[in-house]
Structure formats: C-alpha cells, structure tokens
Amino acid sequence: MFTISVCMIVKDEEKTIERVLSCAKEFADEIIVVDTGSKDNTVSLAKKYTDKVFHFEWCDDFSKARNYSFSLGQCDYLMWLDADDFISKCNIEKIKLLKNYNKDIDVFMFKYVASFDENGKPSFNFYRERLLKRENNFKWEGFVHEAISPFGKIEYCNIEIEHRKVQVNEEKRNLKLYKKAKKRGIIFGPREQYYYARELYYSKYYKTAIFQLKKYLKMNDCFEPNVVGAYLLLAECEILVGQNKNALKNLFECIEKYPPNAQICVLISSIFEKQNKIQQAIFWSKCALNCEKPLQGFVIEDYYDFIPYMKLVVLYDKLGDYLNAKKFHNLAKELKPNNKLVIMNDKYFASKLM
C-alpha cells in the first residue's frame, strides 16, 4: 500500500476549505496546507484538520507556491487539491482502493469535472495529473494555469475530482498576472501564450485574442489539445467580429491536421446554417456525433450528443422534414427530459404532428 500527501495552496477560502479537507482526511496520510495571505478564517479552519499549515509569501506565481507545497510532502505520492474541490464518497472509496495498486506508476491521471448540467451530470471535464510519485521530483510550471508535465509510467483512472466554486475570483485576475509578466519582460512559451490568449477571449478582447492566437499557432506547439483549442477559439473570435470566412478556413485547416473534434464540427455546422446551407450544416452536425472523446484536453460532453441532436432538430425543421426533426428531438429528450429547450420543442412537435 502506498501513502498520499495531499498538498494545497489556499487564500481566503473559509467558505469551502472544510468541505475539501473533510474529503481529504478520508484517504490522505498527510495533509499540507500552504496559505498565501488569507485575511479570513482559512488558516484557523485548516488547523482543525492538520497541524501542517504553512505560509508562503505571494509573488504572483502559482507554480512557486505549488512547488513549495510539494516540497513539504513526505509520503510516496503527492496529490494536489484546490480549496473549492470536492470528492464524492464513491470517488473517495476509489482512491482508497487505488492505494493498494501494486504496479509501479509515476503519475495517476484523474478526471477533473469543472461544470455540471441542470441535472447535476458532469458537462465539462478533462484529465489532470493528480497523484505524482514524490521521488521523481515533479515540478510545476507556469505562473498562471500551472501544470506538471507528466513523464514515466502514466495511468488514467476512472476517478473524478469535482471543482465546485462558490465564489468568483477577482475580475480578470489571471489576465492581470499575464500583463504584469509581459511588463517584466517575461517571454511566454507555447503554454503561456495559449492561456494568455484564452484569458483575452474570456475578457472579450476578441481582436487582441485573434492576434495572440495566431502568434501561438506559429510556435508549433506539439501538445495537440492546446493546438486544437487554439483553432477553435480563433474561429469563435473571428465569428464574433464578423469574419466568418476566416473562421471556416481555420476550422478546416484544423481538421486537415488533426482528428475531427465534435465542438469544431458543431461550429462549422453553425456557420453553414447562418449561410442557409442547411444540407452542409446537417452533415457537420452528424459528423460531431461520430467524433471520439479525447483522453487529453477539455471535453464538453454535450458536444458529443445533446448539442448536435438539438441542432439537427432545428435544421430538419427548416427543411420541413418534421419526422427527422422529431427523431432527433426524441434522442435529445432521452438525454435531458427536463431541459427548457427540450420541453419547448416537445410542445412544438405535439402541435405540429397532431
């Protein structure tokens, strides 16, 4: 049986710190909490669960804080958690069982569930490096959107960590950190450049995001999920500034280089729909249904079934093909019977097909 050090960095997390620590105490052999300057009751609450509470002077660098927390761990594996994470009883039991795993694994990858639909079902998830062998001295990289580059023997596990926020971060916090870094003359590598462009997109600086995404794509990053994500964001920004032709060109360029992505197929379908090219739009929505979910990168579950089903309802309805429209409505209804749009469509078809 191997042992686990749970390592956390926190600041002003009194609303959620006990929730995550009550989960961690169920399987952790050691809990380390590194506070980066809390002004609320975070530290006193953390001390109810562990005597290993430390202070780190904040320096606008998440990786430095994470690496400090990892340096304090003494167990076989180091596991990171955020203060607003949650682990269900089912997944806690899976982690307990995992501790008996007798294969020599360097990195265990867990699913990180970042959002949920109206029925509480995971809707947005991605795999993250979660348990890392301490003796390998893994290092966090990136002052924002920090990550560890896994190496050695890597195992993907059917274990979920849920990210359940209860408070919103300071507005444009991450973008401010990127801008500070640029002022200090820090040169962004591919990952930093990609996430800098994403922050510009989230902050609705679409034209600047387009410029920075194009700059990123010229860096020849070898991490496919980020490249595909950049093409997708680039197209979305171009659509938002009225450059539909450029968006379509970039989406097709992505498909030529990489396996089809469901979200990209749906976006192509939407562009053709706006051009009133309904048959082409139908083709690309059906392509989305045939895409495989990737192991790496962000996965928005609805793009692989529910969203293309709903689009096909609309597209077939525009053609006056109510039987096919109803067929895809029924498929969408099986997935989300309580969805507001599904309920609205149900009433529509009830009147249409009487």
Is residue 45 scored above 60 in pLDDT? Answer: yes
Under DSSP, the state recorded for 292 is P
CA gap 227, 60 in Å, rounded: 26
State pLDDT tens for residues 220-240.
999 999 999 999 999 999 999
**What residue spans define the domains of the chain?**
4-163, 173-352
CA gap 335, 100 in Å, rounded: 36
Supply the pLDDT for residue 121.
82
- Residue 354: pLDDT band by 50, 70, 90 thresholds? low
- Could you tell me which of 50, 51, 62, 67 has the C-alpha nearest to residue 11? 62
Supply the pLDDT for residue 171.
64
CATH 3.40.50.620 fits 173-352, yes or no: no
CA gap 262, 243 in Å, rounded: 21
Supply the pLDDT for residue 162.
96
> Could you tell me the fold of the domain covering 4-163?
Spore Coat Polysaccharide Biosynthesis Protein SpsA; Chain A (3.90.550)
Supply the pLDDT for residue 169.
66
CA gap 127, 299 in Å, rounded: 9
**With a threshold of 0.85, does the pTM exceed it?**
yes
Average pLDDT taken over every residue of the chain: 95
- In degrees, rounded to 5, the angle at the alpha carbon of residue 31 between the alpha carbons of residues 29 and 35 is 170
Q: What are phi and psi of 182, to 5 degrees?
A: -65, -40
